Amino acid sequence: MVSKNQIKLITSLQHKKYRNEHQLFIAEGVKVIQELLQSNIVLEHLFETESIFESVLPSQKTLIKEVDMKRISVLTSPSSCLAIFKIPKAKIIEDKGLIVVLDDIRDPGNLGTIIRLCDWFGVKQLVCSKETVDVYNPKVIQATMGSITRVNLVYLDIQDFIAQTSLPVFGTFMDGKNIYKEVLPTEGVLIFGNEANGISTSVEKIIKNRIAIPRFGDIQQTESLNVATATAICLSEFRRNF
Amino acid sequence: MVSKNQIKLITSLQHKKYRNEHQLFIAEGVKVIQELLQSNIVLEHLFETESIFESVLPSQKTLIKEVDMKRISVLTSPSSCLAIFKIPKAKIIEDKGLIVVLDDIRDPGNLGTIIRLCDWFGVKQLVCSKETVDVYNPKVIQATMGSITRVNLVYLDIQDFIAQTSLPVFGTFMDGKNIYKEVLPTEGVLIFGNEANGISTSVEKIIKNRIAIPRFGDIQQTESLNVATATAICLSEFRRNF
Protein backbone atom coordinates (compact mmCIF):
# COMPACT_ATOMS: atom_id res chain seq x y z
CA MET A 1 0.00 0.00 0.00
CA VAL A 2 0.91 3.66 -0.35
CA SER A 3 1.40 5.68 2.80
CA LYS A 4 -0.09 9.13 3.29
CA ASN A 5 3.40 10.62 3.15
CA GLN A 6 4.13 8.86 -0.10
CA ILE A 7 0.89 10.17 -1.65
CA LYS A 8 1.76 13.64 -0.42
CA LEU A 9 5.26 13.45 -1.91
CA ILE A 10 4.12 12.02 -5.26
CA THR A 11 1.32 14.52 -5.81
CA SER A 12 3.65 17.36 -4.78
CA LEU A 13 6.00 16.30 -7.61
CA GLN A 14 3.43 17.51 -10.13
CA HIS A 15 4.73 20.98 -9.25
CA LYS A 16 8.11 22.32 -10.32
CA LYS A 17 8.74 23.90 -6.91
CA TYR A 18 8.62 20.52 -5.14
CA ARG A 19 10.51 18.70 -7.92
CA ASN A 20 13.33 21.19 -7.40
CA GLU A 21 13.12 20.95 -3.62
CA HIS A 22 13.26 17.12 -3.57
CA GLN A 23 15.29 16.74 -6.81
CA LEU A 24 12.83 14.02 -7.84
CA PHE A 25 10.38 13.51 -10.72
CA ILE A 26 7.68 10.98 -11.59
CA ALA A 27 7.19 8.82 -14.67
CA GLU A 28 4.25 6.62 -15.60
CA GLY A 29 3.75 3.75 -18.02
CA VAL A 30 5.76 0.64 -18.87
CA LYS A 31 7.55 2.06 -21.92
CA VAL A 32 8.76 5.28 -20.29
CA ILE A 33 9.80 3.62 -17.00
CA GLN A 34 11.61 0.86 -18.88
CA GLU A 35 13.68 3.37 -20.86
CA LEU A 36 14.49 5.34 -17.69
CA LEU A 37 15.52 2.16 -15.81
CA GLN A 38 17.90 1.25 -18.65
CA SER A 39 19.52 4.71 -18.54
CA ASN A 40 21.83 6.39 -16.03
CA ILE A 41 18.88 7.99 -14.28
CA VAL A 42 18.56 6.66 -10.72
CA LEU A 43 15.33 5.06 -9.48
CA GLU A 44 14.06 6.24 -6.12
CA HIS A 45 10.98 4.02 -5.87
CA LEU A 46 8.58 2.06 -8.09
CA PHE A 47 4.86 1.44 -7.55
CA GLU A 48 3.18 -1.34 -9.53
CA THR A 49 -0.32 -2.82 -9.60
CA GLU A 50 1.18 -6.08 -10.92
CA SER A 51 4.76 -7.34 -11.05
CA ILE A 52 6.30 -5.90 -14.23
CA PHE A 53 9.90 -4.90 -13.58
CA GLU A 54 11.49 -8.01 -12.09
CA SER A 55 14.99 -6.55 -12.18
CA VAL A 56 14.07 -3.86 -9.64
CA LEU A 57 15.13 -4.80 -6.07
CA PRO A 58 12.22 -5.63 -3.71
CA SER A 59 13.32 -2.81 -1.38
CA GLN A 60 12.82 -0.34 -4.23
CA LYS A 61 9.31 -1.33 -5.21
CA THR A 62 5.82 -1.62 -3.75
CA LEU A 63 2.87 -3.59 -5.08
CA ILE A 64 -0.24 -1.44 -4.77
CA LYS A 65 -3.94 -1.67 -5.56
CA GLU A 66 -5.47 -0.01 -8.61
CA VAL A 67 -7.48 2.27 -6.36
CA ASP A 68 -4.23 3.54 -4.83
CA MET A 69 -2.68 3.99 -8.29
CA LYS A 70 -5.59 6.24 -9.16
CA ARG A 71 -4.77 8.38 -6.13
CA ILE A 72 -1.14 8.95 -7.11
CA SER A 73 -1.41 9.00 -10.91
CA VAL A 74 -1.68 12.22 -12.92
CA LEU A 75 -3.17 10.31 -15.86
CA THR A 76 -6.92 10.10 -16.46
CA SER A 77 -6.42 6.40 -17.29
CA PRO A 78 -3.64 5.30 -14.91
CA SER A 79 -1.07 2.78 -16.11
CA SER A 80 0.03 -0.27 -14.14
CA CYS A 81 3.16 1.48 -12.89
CA LEU A 82 4.45 4.79 -11.56
CA ALA A 83 8.03 5.48 -10.59
CA ILE A 84 9.91 8.21 -8.77
CA PHE A 85 13.35 8.99 -10.20
CA LYS A 86 16.17 11.29 -9.10
CA ILE A 87 16.65 14.34 -11.31
CA PRO A 88 20.06 13.79 -12.94
CA LYS A 89 22.71 16.51 -12.93
CA ALA A 90 22.79 18.41 -16.22
CA LYS A 91 25.92 17.86 -18.27
CA ILE A 92 27.82 20.73 -19.81
CA ILE A 93 26.89 21.49 -23.44
CA GLU A 94 29.78 20.77 -25.80
CA ASP A 95 30.30 23.16 -28.68
CA LYS A 96 29.85 20.58 -31.45
CA GLY A 97 27.30 18.73 -33.56
CA LEU A 98 23.77 19.90 -34.24
CA ILE A 99 22.32 21.67 -31.19
CA VAL A 100 18.63 22.58 -30.87
CA VAL A 101 17.76 25.69 -28.83
CA LEU A 102 14.23 26.41 -27.60
CA ASP A 103 13.31 30.02 -26.87
CA ASP A 104 10.42 29.84 -24.43
CA ILE A 105 8.42 26.76 -25.47
CA ARG A 106 5.43 26.61 -23.11
CA ASP A 107 3.45 23.52 -24.15
CA PRO A 108 4.56 20.25 -22.46
CA GLY A 109 3.43 18.21 -25.47
CA ASN A 110 5.54 20.32 -27.82
CA LEU A 111 8.67 19.95 -25.65
CA GLY A 112 8.11 16.18 -25.41
CA THR A 113 7.64 15.87 -29.19
CA ILE A 114 10.78 17.95 -29.85
CA ILE A 115 12.84 15.74 -27.51
CA ARG A 116 11.62 12.65 -29.46
CA LEU A 117 12.57 14.39 -32.71
CA CYS A 118 16.06 15.22 -31.39
CA ASP A 119 16.48 11.57 -30.41
CA TRP A 120 15.29 10.37 -33.86
CA PHE A 121 17.59 12.72 -35.75
CA GLY A 122 20.61 12.07 -33.54
CA VAL A 123 20.63 15.52 -31.91
CA LYS A 124 22.28 14.90 -28.55
CA GLN A 125 22.12 18.39 -27.08
CA LEU A 126 19.09 20.57 -26.41
CA VAL A 127 19.36 24.02 -24.83
CA CYS A 128 16.20 25.55 -23.35
CA SER A 129 15.62 29.12 -22.23
CA LYS A 130 14.86 29.40 -18.52
CA GLU A 131 11.21 30.24 -19.34
CA THR A 132 10.75 27.01 -21.30
CA VAL A 133 8.41 24.45 -19.68
CA ASP A 134 10.17 22.14 -17.17
CA VAL A 135 11.31 18.88 -18.75
CA TYR A 136 10.44 17.01 -15.51
CA ASN A 137 6.80 18.11 -15.79
CA PRO A 138 4.91 14.75 -15.88
CA LYS A 139 3.25 15.67 -19.20
CA VAL A 140 6.64 16.26 -20.82
CA ILE A 141 8.05 12.99 -19.45
CA GLN A 142 5.02 11.11 -20.86
CA ALA A 143 5.35 12.79 -24.27
CA THR A 144 9.08 12.00 -24.60
CA MET A 145 8.36 8.24 -24.52
CA GLY A 146 11.76 7.71 -22.91
CA SER A 147 13.76 9.73 -25.46
CA ILE A 148 14.87 12.06 -22.64
CA THR A 149 17.42 9.42 -21.61
CA ARG A 150 19.35 9.98 -24.86
CA VAL A 151 19.27 13.79 -25.11
CA ASN A 152 21.23 16.13 -22.83
CA LEU A 153 18.80 18.94 -22.00
CA VAL A 154 20.10 22.05 -20.23
CA TYR A 155 18.37 25.27 -19.12
CA LEU A 156 20.55 28.28 -19.90
CA ASP A 157 20.36 31.95 -20.71
CA ILE A 158 20.19 31.43 -24.46
CA GLN A 159 21.59 34.85 -25.33
CA ASP A 160 24.71 33.96 -23.32
CA PHE A 161 24.84 30.56 -25.01
CA ILE A 162 24.60 31.98 -28.54
CA ALA A 163 27.19 34.66 -27.73
CA GLN A 164 29.80 32.05 -26.85
CA THR A 165 29.21 29.31 -29.45
CA SER A 166 31.58 28.99 -32.40
CA LEU A 167 28.93 27.13 -34.44
CA PRO A 168 26.77 28.82 -37.12
CA VAL A 169 23.42 29.93 -35.65
CA PHE A 170 20.13 29.38 -37.54
CA GLY A 171 16.63 30.60 -36.77
CA THR A 172 13.32 30.16 -38.62
CA PHE A 173 11.52 33.32 -39.70
CA MET A 174 8.72 34.01 -42.20
CA ASP A 175 11.09 36.18 -44.27
CA GLY A 176 14.06 33.78 -44.05
CA LYS A 177 15.81 32.06 -46.97
CA ASN A 178 14.14 28.96 -48.44
CA ILE A 179 15.49 26.07 -46.32
CA TYR A 180 15.17 23.68 -49.31
CA LYS A 181 17.65 25.76 -51.34
CA GLU A 182 20.27 26.44 -48.66
CA VAL A 183 23.42 24.36 -48.23
CA LEU A 184 23.08 23.39 -44.58
CA PRO A 185 26.11 22.52 -42.41
CA THR A 186 26.50 19.26 -40.50
CA GLU A 187 27.13 21.21 -37.29
CA GLY A 188 25.18 24.21 -36.09
CA VAL A 189 22.76 25.75 -33.62
CA LEU A 190 19.07 25.69 -34.62
CA ILE A 191 16.70 27.97 -32.68
CA PHE A 192 12.92 27.62 -32.41
CA GLY A 193 10.65 30.17 -30.77
CA ASN A 194 7.60 30.40 -28.56
CA GLU A 195 4.27 28.98 -29.81
CA ALA A 196 2.52 32.36 -29.99
CA ASN A 197 5.33 34.88 -30.45
CA GLY A 198 8.11 33.02 -32.24
CA ILE A 199 11.75 33.84 -31.48
CA SER A 200 12.07 36.79 -29.08
CA THR A 201 13.38 40.10 -30.43
CA SER A 202 16.52 40.10 -28.26
CA VAL A 203 17.47 36.61 -29.51
CA GLU A 204 16.52 37.40 -33.12
CA LYS A 205 19.12 40.22 -33.17
CA ILE A 206 22.00 37.80 -32.72
CA ILE A 207 20.89 35.18 -35.28
CA LYS A 208 22.98 35.37 -38.45
CA ASN A 209 21.23 32.75 -40.63
CA ARG A 210 17.51 33.36 -41.17
CA ILE A 211 15.77 30.39 -42.79
CA ALA A 212 12.14 29.68 -43.71
CA ILE A 213 9.98 26.66 -44.56
CA PRO A 214 8.18 27.73 -47.75
CA ARG A 215 4.39 27.63 -47.83
CA PHE A 216 2.71 25.86 -50.74
CA GLY A 217 -0.93 26.70 -50.19
CA ASP A 218 -3.01 29.75 -51.14
CA ILE A 219 -1.56 33.21 -50.61
CA GLN A 220 -4.50 34.24 -48.39
CA GLN A 221 -3.62 31.74 -45.72
CA THR A 222 -1.88 33.36 -42.80
CA GLU A 223 -1.39 30.50 -40.41
CA SER A 224 2.05 29.40 -39.24
CA LEU A 225 3.23 25.86 -38.60
CA ASN A 226 3.13 24.39 -35.12
CA VAL A 227 6.62 24.61 -33.54
CA ALA A 228 7.00 20.80 -33.23
CA THR A 229 6.14 20.23 -36.90
CA ALA A 230 8.51 23.07 -37.93
CA THR A 231 11.25 21.38 -35.85
CA ALA A 232 10.51 18.06 -37.60
CA ILE A 233 10.88 19.62 -41.06
CA CYS A 234 14.07 21.56 -40.18
CA LEU A 235 15.82 18.59 -38.54
CA SER A 236 14.87 16.43 -41.54
CA GLU A 237 16.46 19.04 -43.85
CA PHE A 238 19.66 19.28 -41.78
CA ARG A 239 20.00 15.49 -41.73
CA ARG A 240 18.71 14.31 -45.12
CA ASN A 241 22.01 14.55 -46.98
CA PHE A 242 24.06 12.58 -44.46
CA MET B 1 -28.36 35.79 -22.50
CA VAL B 2 -28.28 32.11 -23.39
CA SER B 3 -31.49 30.12 -23.06
CA LYS B 4 -31.65 26.70 -21.42
CA ASN B 5 -32.40 25.15 -24.80
CA GLN B 6 -29.37 26.84 -26.36
CA ILE B 7 -27.11 25.58 -23.54
CA LYS B 8 -28.54 22.11 -24.02
CA LEU B 9 -27.96 22.22 -27.79
CA ILE B 10 -24.42 23.62 -27.53
CA THR B 11 -23.22 21.16 -24.90
CA SER B 12 -24.80 18.29 -26.86
CA LEU B 13 -22.63 19.27 -29.86
CA GLN B 14 -19.57 18.07 -27.95
CA HIS B 15 -20.80 14.59 -28.93
CA LYS B 16 -20.60 13.18 -32.45
CA LYS B 17 -24.07 11.65 -32.19
CA TYR B 18 -25.72 15.05 -31.70
CA ARG B 19 -23.49 16.80 -34.25
CA ASN B 20 -24.71 14.27 -36.81
CA GLU B 21 -28.31 14.59 -35.68
CA HIS B 22 -28.34 18.40 -35.88
CA GLN B 23 -25.71 18.70 -38.64
CA LEU B 24 -24.08 21.43 -36.57
CA PHE B 25 -20.68 21.94 -34.92
CA ILE B 26 -19.13 24.50 -32.57
CA ALA B 27 -15.99 26.62 -32.91
CA GLU B 28 -14.37 28.87 -30.33
CA GLY B 29 -11.86 31.71 -30.50
CA VAL B 30 -11.49 34.77 -32.73
CA LYS B 31 -8.99 33.26 -35.19
CA VAL B 32 -10.92 30.05 -35.89
CA ILE B 33 -14.34 31.74 -36.12
CA GLN B 34 -12.92 34.45 -38.40
CA GLU B 35 -11.54 31.85 -40.82
CA LEU B 36 -14.83 29.94 -40.78
CA LEU B 37 -16.87 33.12 -41.39
CA GLN B 38 -14.70 33.94 -44.42
CA SER B 39 -15.26 30.46 -45.89
CA ASN B 40 -18.28 28.79 -47.48
CA ILE B 41 -19.26 27.25 -44.16
CA VAL B 42 -22.62 28.66 -43.00
CA LEU B 43 -23.00 30.32 -39.58
CA GLU B 44 -25.95 29.20 -37.50
CA HIS B 45 -25.41 31.50 -34.50
CA LEU B 46 -22.65 33.46 -32.76
CA PHE B 47 -22.26 34.14 -29.04
CA GLU B 48 -19.89 36.93 -27.94
CA THR B 49 -18.95 38.46 -24.59
CA GLU B 50 -18.01 41.67 -26.45
CA SER B 51 -18.75 42.88 -29.98
CA ILE B 52 -16.07 41.35 -32.24
CA PHE B 53 -17.59 40.31 -35.54
CA GLU B 54 -19.40 43.41 -36.77
CA SER B 55 -20.19 41.89 -40.17
CA VAL B 56 -22.46 39.26 -38.58
CA LEU B 57 -26.16 40.24 -38.74
CA PRO B 58 -27.75 41.15 -35.37
CA SER B 59 -30.29 38.34 -35.80
CA GLN B 60 -27.45 35.82 -35.96
CA LYS B 61 -25.61 36.87 -32.82
CA THR B 62 -26.18 37.25 -29.09
CA LEU B 63 -24.13 39.25 -26.61
CA ILE B 64 -23.69 37.14 -23.48
CA LYS B 65 -22.00 37.43 -20.07
CA GLU B 66 -18.68 35.76 -19.31
CA VAL B 67 -20.40 33.54 -16.77
CA ASP B 68 -22.68 32.23 -19.53
CA MET B 69 -19.71 31.72 -21.88
CA LYS B 70 -18.17 29.50 -19.20
CA ARG B 71 -21.33 27.39 -19.21
CA ILE B 72 -21.28 26.76 -22.96
CA SER B 73 -17.53 26.66 -23.63
CA VAL B 74 -15.56 23.41 -23.81
CA LEU B 75 -12.30 25.29 -23.13
CA THR B 76 -10.81 25.57 -19.64
CA SER B 77 -10.09 29.24 -20.42
CA PRO B 78 -13.07 30.32 -22.55
CA SER B 79 -12.52 32.77 -25.36
CA SER B 80 -14.67 35.85 -26.01
CA CYS B 81 -16.66 34.07 -28.72
CA LEU B 82 -18.29 30.75 -29.56
CA ALA B 83 -20.13 30.02 -32.79
CA ILE B 84 -22.39 27.27 -34.10
CA PHE B 85 -21.85 26.42 -37.77
CA LYS B 86 -23.64 24.09 -40.19
CA ILE B 87 -21.65 21.00 -41.13
CA PRO B 88 -20.92 21.45 -44.85
CA LYS B 89 -21.62 18.68 -47.34
CA ALA B 90 -18.48 16.73 -48.19
CA LYS B 91 -17.25 17.21 -51.75
CA ILE B 92 -16.26 14.26 -53.90
CA ILE B 93 -12.54 13.47 -53.88
CA GLU B 94 -10.95 14.09 -57.28
CA ASP B 95 -8.32 11.64 -58.43
CA LYS B 96 -5.49 14.18 -58.77
CA GLY B 97 -2.79 16.04 -56.85
CA LEU B 98 -1.27 14.92 -53.58
CA ILE B 99 -3.90 13.23 -51.38
CA VAL B 100 -3.32 12.39 -47.71
CA VAL B 101 -5.11 9.34 -46.30
CA LEU B 102 -5.44 8.70 -42.55
CA ASP B 103 -5.95 5.12 -41.40
CA ASP B 104 -7.62 5.38 -38.01
CA ILE B 105 -6.07 8.48 -36.39
CA ARG B 106 -7.60 8.74 -32.91
CA ASP B 107 -6.06 11.83 -31.32
CA PRO B 108 -7.94 15.11 -32.06
CA GLY B 109 -4.71 17.12 -31.74
CA ASN B 110 -2.98 14.93 -34.33
CA LEU B 111 -5.84 15.29 -36.82
CA GLY B 112 -5.90 19.07 -36.30
CA THR B 113 -2.12 19.33 -36.79
CA ILE B 114 -2.27 17.17 -39.95
CA ILE B 115 -5.02 19.40 -41.41
CA ARG B 116 -2.78 22.46 -40.77
CA LEU B 117 0.11 20.66 -42.47
CA CYS B 118 -2.06 19.80 -45.51
CA ASP B 119 -3.06 23.44 -45.75
CA TRP B 120 0.60 24.61 -45.48
CA PHE B 121 1.82 22.19 -48.12
CA GLY B 122 -1.07 22.81 -50.53
CA VAL B 123 -2.68 19.39 -50.06
CA LYS B 124 -6.35 20.07 -50.83
CA GLN B 125 -7.78 16.59 -50.24
CA LEU B 126 -7.72 14.49 -47.09
CA VAL B 127 -9.35 11.05 -46.90
CA CYS B 128 -10.02 9.60 -43.42
CA SER B 129 -11.02 6.06 -42.51
CA LYS B 130 -14.42 5.86 -40.83
CA GLU B 131 -12.72 5.07 -37.49
CA THR B 132 -10.66 8.28 -37.60
CA VAL B 133 -11.63 10.90 -35.00
CA ASP B 134 -14.47 13.21 -36.14
CA VAL B 135 -13.17 16.44 -37.69
CA TYR B 136 -16.05 18.38 -36.09
CA ASN B 137 -14.93 17.33 -32.61
CA PRO B 138 -14.33 20.73 -30.87
CA LYS B 139 -10.71 19.76 -30.06
CA VAL B 140 -9.98 19.09 -33.74
CA ILE B 141 -11.63 22.35 -34.83
CA GLN B 142 -9.49 24.26 -32.27
CA ALA B 143 -6.29 22.53 -33.40
CA THR B 144 -6.87 23.26 -37.11
CA MET B 145 -6.73 27.02 -36.48
CA GLY B 146 -9.12 27.52 -39.39
CA SER B 147 -7.17 25.41 -41.91
CA ILE B 148 -10.19 23.12 -42.24
CA THR B 149 -11.79 25.73 -44.51
CA ARG B 150 -9.13 25.10 -47.18
CA VAL B 151 -8.91 21.28 -47.08
CA ASN B 152 -11.65 18.95 -48.37
CA LEU B 153 -11.88 16.19 -45.76
CA VAL B 154 -13.97 13.10 -46.50
CA TYR B 155 -14.66 9.93 -44.48
CA LEU B 156 -14.48 6.84 -46.73
CA ASP B 157 -13.71 3.17 -46.66
CA ILE B 158 -10.02 3.63 -47.44
CA GLN B 159 -9.58 0.17 -48.95
CA ASP B 160 -12.29 1.05 -51.49
CA PHE B 161 -10.63 4.41 -52.09
CA ILE B 162 -7.18 2.93 -52.71
CA ALA B 163 -8.64 0.23 -54.96
CA GLN B 164 -10.10 2.80 -57.35
CA THR B 165 -7.41 5.51 -57.45
CA SER B 166 -5.12 5.74 -60.50
CA LEU B 167 -2.46 7.60 -58.47
CA PRO B 168 0.64 5.89 -57.01
CA VAL B 169 0.04 4.87 -53.38
CA PHE B 170 2.70 5.44 -50.67
CA GLY B 171 2.79 4.29 -47.06
CA THR B 172 5.42 4.75 -44.33
CA PHE B 173 6.87 1.58 -42.78
CA MET B 174 9.97 0.90 -40.68
CA ASP B 175 11.35 -1.33 -43.46
CA GLY B 176 10.43 1.00 -46.34
CA LYS B 177 12.83 2.64 -48.80
CA ASN B 178 14.73 5.74 -47.61
CA ILE B 179 12.40 8.65 -48.46
CA TYR B 180 15.41 10.97 -48.93
CA LYS B 181 16.73 8.82 -51.79
CA GLU B 182 13.46 8.14 -53.65
CA VAL B 183 12.29 10.19 -56.63
CA LEU B 184 8.86 11.25 -55.41
CA PRO B 185 6.02 12.10 -57.82
CA THR B 186 4.10 15.40 -57.80
CA GLU B 187 0.83 13.50 -57.56
CA GLY B 188 0.10 10.54 -55.31
CA VAL B 189 -1.71 9.11 -52.32
CA LEU B 190 0.17 9.20 -49.00
CA ILE B 191 -1.16 6.99 -46.18
CA PHE B 192 -0.47 7.42 -42.44
CA GLY B 193 -1.51 4.92 -39.80
CA ASN B 194 -2.91 4.80 -36.28
CA GLU B 195 -0.86 6.25 -33.39
CA ALA B 196 -0.29 2.90 -31.67
CA ASN B 197 -0.58 0.32 -34.45
CA GLY B 198 0.48 2.11 -37.64
CA ILE B 199 -1.15 1.22 -40.94
CA SER B 200 -3.62 -1.68 -40.60
CA THR B 201 -2.67 -5.03 -42.15
CA SER B 202 -5.55 -5.04 -44.63
CA VAL B 203 -4.53 -1.60 -45.94
CA GLU B 204 -0.80 -2.45 -45.90
CA LYS B 205 -1.43 -5.30 -48.37
CA ILE B 206 -2.58 -2.92 -51.11
CA ILE B 207 0.23 -0.34 -50.74
CA LYS B 208 2.78 -0.60 -53.53
CA ASN B 209 5.35 1.99 -52.43
CA ARG B 210 6.79 1.43 -48.95
CA ILE B 211 8.82 4.39 -47.74
CA ALA B 212 10.63 5.16 -44.47
CA ILE B 213 12.04 8.18 -42.67
CA PRO B 214 15.56 7.09 -41.70
CA ARG B 215 16.58 7.25 -38.06
CA PHE B 216 19.84 8.98 -37.20
CA GLY B 217 20.19 8.21 -33.51
CA ASP B 218 21.58 5.19 -31.65
CA ILE B 219 20.66 1.71 -32.86
CA GLN B 220 19.21 0.78 -29.45
CA GLN B 221 16.45 3.33 -29.69
CA THR B 222 13.17 1.72 -30.61
CA GLU B 223 10.79 4.62 -30.56
CA SER B 224 8.80 5.67 -33.62
CA LEU B 225 7.96 9.22 -34.66
CA ASN B 226 4.64 10.76 -33.72
CA VAL B 227 2.24 10.53 -36.70
CA ALA B 228 1.90 14.32 -37.07
CA THR B 229 5.69 14.84 -37.18
CA ALA B 230 6.03 11.94 -39.66
CA THR B 231 3.37 13.63 -41.83
CA ALA B 232 5.31 16.92 -41.61
CA ILE B 233 8.53 15.28 -42.81
CA CYS B 234 6.86 13.31 -45.63
CA LEU B 235 4.88 16.29 -46.97
CA SER B 236 8.06 18.39 -46.84
CA GLU B 237 9.87 15.71 -48.91
CA PHE B 238 7.07 15.46 -51.49
CA ARG B 239 6.98 19.26 -51.91
CA ARG B 240 10.59 20.38 -51.48
CA ASN B 241 11.58 20.09 -55.16
CA PHE B 242 8.67 22.10 -56.52
Please report whether residue A93 resides in a domain: no
Chain A positions in Cβ-Cβ contact with residue B152 (cut-off 8 Å): none
Please report whether residue B48 resides in a domain: yes
Tell me the pLDDT of chain B (242 aa) as tens digits: 889 999 999 999 999 999 999 999 999 999 999 999 999 999 999 999 999 999 999 999 999 999 999 999 999 899 999 999 999 998 999 999 999 999 999 999 999 999 999 999 999 999 999 999 999 999 999 988 889 999 999 999 999 999 999 999 999 998 999 999 999 999 999 999 999 899 999 999 999 999 999 998 766 565 678 999 999 999 999 999 87
Whether residue B117 is found in the same domain as residue B57: no
Name the nearest CA neighbour of A85 among A47, A124, A119, A58.
Answer: A47
Distance CA A114, CA B79 (A): 28
- pLDDT tens, position by position, B41-54: 999 999 999 999 99
Please report whether residue B91 resides in a domain: no
Would you tell me how many other CB atoms lie within 10 Å of the CB of residue B157?
Answer: 11
Whether residue B68 is found in the same domain as residue B133: no
Please report whether residue B93 resides in a domain: no
Please give the biggest Cα pair distance in chain A.
63
pLDDT of residue B83: 97
Q: How many CB pairs under 8 A join A and B?
A: 94
Whether residue B109 is found in the same domain as residue B229: yes
Domain residue limits at B82: 4-86
Distance CA A160, CA A93 (A): 13
**CATH at residue B42:** 3.30.1330.30
Q: Which residues contact B70 (CB under 8 A, 6 or more apart)?
A: B78
- Start-to-end CA distance of chain B, whole Å, equals 52
Q: Which of B86, B116, B150 is the last residue of a domain?
A: B86
Whether residue A114 is found in the same domain as residue A183: yes
Q: What is the CA radius of gyration of chain A?
A: 20
For chain A, say whether B107 makes contact (Cβ under 8 Å): no
What single letter denotes the amino acid at residue B131? E
Whether residue A122 is found in the same domain as residue A78: no
Please report whether residue A72 resides in a domain: yes
Tell me the pLDDT of chain A (242 aa) as tens digits: 889 999 999 999 999 999 999 999 999 999 999 999 999 999 999 999 999 999 999 999 999 999 999 999 999 899 999 999 999 998 999 999 999 999 999 999 999 999 999 999 999 999 999 999 999 999 999 988 889 999 999 999 999 999 999 999 999 998 999 999 999 999 999 999 999 899 999 999 999 999 999 998 766 565 678 999 999 999 999 999 87
Contact B232 A237 (CB under 8 A): no
Structural domains of chain B, count = 2
Distance CA A155, CA A158 (A): 8
**CATH at residue B181:** 3.40.1280.10
For chain B, say whether A186 makes contact (Cβ under 8 Å): no
Whether residue B128 is found in the same domain as residue B105: yes
CA atoms within a 13 Å half-sphere pointing along the CA-CB vector of A50:
6
Please give the biggest Cα pair distance in chain B.
63
Whether residue A71 is found in the same domain as residue A169: no
Please report whether residue A92 resides in a domain: no
Distance CA A215, CA A226 (A): 13
**ipTM of the complex, rounded to two decimals:** 0.90
pLDDT of residue A220: 58
Chain B positions in Cβ-Cβ contact with residue A242 (cut-off 8 Å): 216
Whether residue B151 is found in the same domain as residue B188: yes
B146: which DSSP letter? T
For chain A, say whether B226 makes contact (Cβ under 8 Å): yes
Contact B233 A228 (CB under 8 A): no
Whether residue B123 is found in the same domain as residue B224: yes
Q: Which of A37, A63, A86 is the last residue of a domain?
A: A86
Whether residue A159 is found in the same domain as residue A197: yes
Whether residue B113 is found in the same domain as residue B73: no
